[in-house]
Each structure stands twice: as C-alpha cells, then as structure tokens.
Amino acid sequence: MRIRLGRISLRNILQGLGTSRPLLITLRMGLGLVFIYASVDKVVHPDQFAEIMQDYEILPNAVVNLASLWLAWLEAVLGVCLIAGVWVRAAALMVTGLTVIFIGGLSTALTRGVGLHCGCFSTAAGGAARTWISLWQEGLILLACVWLTVLTLNDATRGTKGPGQRPVVM
Amino acid sequence: MKWFDVKRMKTTVGAILRELPRIAAIATGALVLAIAGNTMHPMNLPLLVTKGQPGIPNWVFERLKQVDTQGAMGLVNDPEVLVIDTRDEPDFRKQHIPGAVSLPYHEFNQRYPHFAESVSKARPLLLYCYGTGCGLAARVGKRLITRGYTDVTILRGGIEAWKAGNLPLETPGGTQ
C-alpha cells in the first residue's frame, strides 16, 4: 500500500511516529501521571476499592482484598516507573496488560448487565453507574499504552543495531 | 510496505521475553508495598477474606451485630431503634419494613451529612438490604461505625428473609 501526500508518505509518517523520542517522552509522562492519579484514591481508600472489585464479580471473594490492594499499588509503581524512566519497556508492557484486563472486566460487566462504578479513577460510590463512558475512557488509555509499548519495543530492536543510536529507554 | 516480517517479529518477542524478570520484579515490589501499606492503613483489611465480605476490616466486622428476622421483629417494634433501608430509593418506595428510613448505599456520601445531623451516634440502628447475597447493609454499617456510630445491627437475609417470614411491609398503599 502506498499513500503519498506530496513528499510525505504514510510509511514515513508511521515510521516517524514509531520512533519519535518526543512522542515517547510525552506518552511516558502522560500515562505515568494518569496511572499515579488513578492509584491515589485506591491507596487512600483500599476498602472502598475492594467493594468495587467485588461488584465486578470476577474474582472469588476470598482474594478480592489482596487483589485490590495489589492493583492499587501496582498502578502507583508503574506510574512512577514511567515518569522516572526506570524499566520503561517492562512498565509499558504491564500498563498495556492492565488496561486490557480493566477493559475485559468492564466489558464482561456490561454483557452481564451489571451496572457498576468503574473504580478507574475514584472509589466514590455516589452517582449513576457510567460503565460505557468508563469503557471509552479505558479504550483511549489503551491506545496510548499500545503506542508507548510499540515505541519502546521499536527502541529495543533498533537500539542494539546502529552505532551512535542511543536507546531511549532502559 | 512490508506489514509482517518474521525476523522482526522474533526480535520483538525476544525483547518482550527479556523484560519478564523486570515485570516480575515490579509485580513483586507492588505486592510488598501493598502488604506493608495495608498494615499501616487504619482500615487494615484482612488479606484473605475468611469471614464477612471484601472491603470490611475484621475490627469493623466484629462490631457489626447480626440478627435473624425473629430478633429483628423486636428491634423494629422498639421506637428507640432506627431501621435503615440501604437499597436504592425506588426499591424503598415500592416496599420497605415498617418505620424504615432510606439511606441508600449508592447515595451514602450525599445523604450522610443530613443523617448525621438528625441521628445521634448512640442510637441503635438496624440495617438491611436486598437479600442473603447483598452486602450493601454491611458496607453502610462499616461507614457508620467508622464515623462513630456504636450500635449497628444487620438483618441477616435482608428484606427477602423478612418477606419469607410473612412479616408486615409498608407500601405506597399502606402496611400489608
């Protein structure tokens, strides 16, 4: 497939977006902040986040507390890794995986007709359930996560090749 | 443009596999932080839920009294006891235990300030929700205990158990 706009081809655009260092840093910082912001309320109110996780009806009740505590802190740690630039490739893979799991959880809730509070950014139980909106929100975050993962993996496969090509991530 | 390149795919998979030790380290680090953070948190949730339900700390669960419908009858007839329906408001309007007031779990934060103004912390409270699998009464009970209410009781089996016992219900048409 070849699409050209004057001297600019789709291939060049994709290659540029797939290797752009400023884009990688922007995505790292943006997603890092999003994950830290999302973790704060869960770390402060672990009991309320456990209630929300119970409402998803995915995990057995016995392990819901442990899973909710771990998830809250995992989001915080991943956010810090992304912002600090430490183990970015691993963190990018993990935030992508986590977002896929969140979307899976929300989707199964929708298909089962369970109206629940996402618990994505807040543990407050007030107001109407907004499962569809949460799903869109998570979809956009997944897009950013996948793009970050592609950038970091491109960097991994490219960084070992050419002389003078410094890898952008650790 | 070549969309699928086997060699490139292998390199990418290799790069992902090389990240596995770091992924394991991040996951373990988060688990250690979660357990340490939980022990320092005032809620101190049990890591494995063996009694009660998720999100309810053991120290709260031990203070939540439970009664069956027979025990609840005595409490409902006691004017000192405030009966609280924790279900959603439309369900409360359809039918509820006579004399009950509505304090839905999903509207707790909005309604609590008014509730706190009108109900003293020492007043005995009887909470109920939909049925056996419903944890809303325990969740509201936890919120009330952590805000200083001292005498909180939950009706086991909720309004389903109450109805199964052919006990009176208040509906828009009157008490049945």
Q: Is B12's CB within 8 Å of A153's CB?
A: yes
Task: Report d(CA A145, CA A151) in Å as an integer.
Answer: 10
Question: Which residues 78-117 of chain B have a CB within 8 Å of chain A?
Answer: 105-110
> What is the three-class DSSP state of B25?
helix
Q: Rounded to the nearest 5°, which phi and psi values hold at B141? A: -60, -40
> What is the model's pLDDT at position A162?
39
Residue A161 confidence (pLDDT): 43
Long-range interactions of B109-117: CB distance < 8 A, separation 24+: B109/A124, B109/A125, B109/A126, B110/A126, B112/B143, B112/B147, B116/B147
Which of the residues A9, A73, A148, A170 would you substitute to probe the B interface, choosing the one with the greatest number of B C-beta atoms within 10 Å? A73
Q: Which of B55, B54, B35, B34 is nearest to A74 (CA)?
A: B34
Closest-CA residue of A relative to B134 is: A55
Amino acid A90: pLDDT: 96
Which pLDDT score, from 0 to 100, does residue A5 have?
Answer: 60
**Half-sphere exposure in the Cβ direction for A53 (13 Å, CA):** 27
| Residues of A with Cβ-Cβ distance to B1 under 8 angstroms | 1-2, 10-11, 14
Q: Is residue B40 less than 8 Å (CB to CB) from chain A? A: no
Report the residue from A49, A127, A156 with minimal CB separation from B15.
A156
Closest-CA residue of chain B to A170: B19
pLDDT, residue A164, reads 41
What confidence score (pLDDT) does residue B5 get? Answer: 77
Q: What is the ipTM of this complex?
A: 0.86
Question: How many CB pairs lie under 8 A apart between chains A and B?
Answer: 120
CB-neighbour burial class of residue B136 (10 A; exposed 0-12, middle 13-18, buried 19+): buried
Put simply, the chain A residues between 43 and 82 with a CB less than 8 A from any chain B CB are 43, 46-51, 53-54, 61-66, 68-70, 72-74, 76-78, 81
Q: ∠ CA(A162), CA(A170), CA(A93), 5° rounding?
A: 110
What's the CA angle centered on B20, arms A42 and A145, to 5 degrees?
Answer: 50
Type of residue at A56: Y
Query: Are residues A53 and B26, on separate chains, in Cβ contact within 8 Å?
Result: no
Among partner residues A61, A66, A93, which is closest to B19 by beta-carbon distance? A93
From chain B, the residues in CB contact with A78 under 8 A are: 26, 30
DSSP B27-89: HHHHHHHHHHHHHHSSS---SS--SS-TT--HHHHTT-EEE-HHHHHHHHT-TTSEEEE-S-H
Residues 6 or more apart whose Cβ sits within 8 Å of residue B59: B44
Tokens representing residue B11 in the block: 């390199």
Task: Choose the closest CB to A50 out of B8, B26, B55.
Answer: B55
d(Cα B60, Cα B57) in Å, to the nearest integer? 5
Q: Give the Cβ contact number of residue B79 at 10 Å.
A: 6
Partner residue opposite A73 with nearest CB, options B30, B47, B107? B30
Q: How far is A157 from chain B (nearest CA, A)?
A: 6
Nearest chain B CA: its distance from A136 CA (Å): 23
| Separation in Å, CA of B79 to nearest CA in chain A | 30
Residue ranges of chain B whose pLDDT lies below 70: 1-4
pTM of the predicted model as reported, rounded to 2 decimal places = 0.83
The C-alpha atoms of residue A12 and residue A3 are separated, in whole angstroms, by 10
- Contact between chains at B49 and A62 (C-beta distance less than 8 A): yes
Please name the residues in contact with A132: beta carbons below 8 A apart, sequence gap of 6 or more: A110
Residues B94, B130 contacting (CB under 8 angstroms): no
pLDDT value, residue B28? 98
Instruction: Quote the pLDDT of residue A109.
Output: 81
Q: Which two tokens stand for residue B55?
A: 């999100």
Write out chain A residues lying below 8 Å of B48, CB-based: 62-63, 65-66
Which portions of chain A are predicted below pLDDT 70?
1-8, 10-19, 114-119, 124-131, 156-170
- With b for 16 or more beta-carbon neighbours within 10 A and e for fewer, the A75-112 pattern comes to bbbbbbbbbeeebbbbbbbbbbebbeebbebbeebeee
Check if the beta carbon of residue B100 is closer than 8 Å to that of residue B170.
yes
